[in-house]
Amino acid sequence: MKIYVGEDYKEMSRKAANIMSAQIILKPDSVIGLATGSTPIGIYDQLVKWYEKGDLDFSNVVSINLDEYKGLSGDNDQSYRYFMNKHLFDRINIDKNKTYVPDGLEQDSYKACQQYNNIIEKSGGIDMQLLGLGHNGHIGFNEPGEAFEKETHCVNLTKSTIEANKRFFEREEDVPKQAYTMGIKSIMQAKKILIVVSGKGKADIVKKAFFGPVTPEVPASVLQLHNDVTLVGDRDALCEIL
């Protein structure tokens, strides 16, 4: 595993954006796996800046996101499709028809997940997968205890996640109870993994995930078995391992 440290969030974002840019410049039709969450926002801002300067061209890039809430449409501002449009896709020259996020409106979970597995397979596989890291070691919506061998599947959100999401919705029945996520197996099939972490709050889990035992109890620990992982973090998040 390669580890790069940035002094702060901004520098971490810039380093990770550099690695993604290199991938796109060297292979303009790259298939890039993308993540939502707070950590990648600075990376997306940086990529947009370089695009605006004329240094990056996304016209041949294919993107495949990790996950989406079941039941939310892309124009719901809590959906991950909405997040991606807002932070990246609407700001660059990517062909929206080549940006994939699981179909939150497909009620048939089996169909939604099979469709997504087909999209990944037909794309030729993910060249570089960007990941964030949950405080409990989750990647995508793969929570502790998930089997390592799963591809895209439907997960039941934990009570605490549903509780935490309540404030974003007018009516309690609108809060998503399930999500579609790439599984650990799908993630592990990416040719390269780029995982980004920021803040003191991630320091313990970074140590557990990358220097502790490989166990489904810490889903990200499986990345120790992947042969091309790059970890980029700010000093706070990496303080336990530097």
Q: Which residues pair with 105 in a beta bridge?
A: none
Told to judge if 60 belongs to the known catalytic residues of this protein, a careful annotator would answer: no
Stretch that binds ligand F6R, among 17-25, 33-41, 69-77, 146-154 (CB under 6 A): 33-41
Contact pick of 56, 61, 120, 139 for ligand F6R (by CB under 6 A):
139
Question: CB of 177: closest distance to ligand F6R in angstroms?
Answer: 17
Least distance from C-beta 133 to ligand F6R, angstroms?
A: 6
Does residue 32 contact residue 99 with C-beta atoms inside 8 Å? Answer: no
Please name which of 239, 78, 63 lies closest in space to residue 169, comparing C-alpha atoms.
78
Q: Centre a 10 Å sphere on the Cβ of residue 206 and count the other Cβ atoms it contains.
A: 23
Strand pairing category for 178-181 and 229-234: unpaired
**Across-strand partners of 165?**
none
**Contact status: 129 vs ligand F6R (CB under 6 A):** no
Dist. CA 118–CA 125, nearest whole Å: 10
First to last CA, the chain: 14
Task: Pick the closer one to ligand F6R by CB: 30 or 198.
Answer: 198
What does the per-residue mask of binding to ligand F6R show for 37-76, with x meaning CB under 6 A? xxx--------------------------xx---------
**Considering the rule CB under 6 A, would residue 138 count as an interface residue with ligand F6R?**
yes
Q: Footprint of ligand F6R on this chain (CB under 6 A)?
A: 35-39, 66-67, 132-134, 138-141
